[in-house]
Amino acid sequence: MEKQTVKKEYVIDATGQALGRIASEAAKVLRGKDTVEFINNIAPKVTVKVINASHIDASQKKLREKIYTHYTGHPGGLRKTSLARMIEKKGWEEPIKKAVYGMLPANRLRAVMMKNLIITE
């Protein structure tokens, strides 16, 4: 007899919480570490929704001094962006995605787990 799996849905309210706290909680659930059926080579069937992302508690210093970098691949192509600039250009969704992405293991399952992350402002 086959065991039917139901996709579980978790909701994280971001109101008044720090970015890292939200990201670590989302990464833990996406990885499946909070369940007794944890298997490290199988992505769990869960969906994580982060609501009220624009109400994250971020200090002015954090907005100004948190720097994201990426390299274009060309000589002299190191680009730096502050958290405030990233929020201005792409909204709160991008910093949350980057934080959760960095907390998941760097393997083939990371892309599968990231598809199950939904962020609403």
30-36: which pairs have CB atoms within 8 A and are 24 or more residues apart? 30/100, 30/104, 30/113, 30/114, 30/116, 30/117, 31/104, 31/105, 31/113
User: pLDDT averaged over the chain?
Assistant: 94
Q: Please give the Cα distance from 110 to 121 (Å, whole number).
A: 23
Domains and CATH numbers, the chain: 8-58+91-119 (3.90.1180.10)
Query: Is residue 4 scored above 70 in pLDDT?
Result: no
pLDDT for 81 equals 97
CA distance 68 to 29: 25
User: Given a cut of 90, is residue 56 above it in pLDDT?
Assistant: yes
User: Does the pLDDT of residue 1 top 80, yes or no?
Assistant: no
Q: For 59-110, write each residue's pLDDT tens digit.
A: 999 999 999 999 999 999 999 999 999 999 999 999 999 999 999 999 999 9
The whole-number pLDDT of residue 2 equals 57
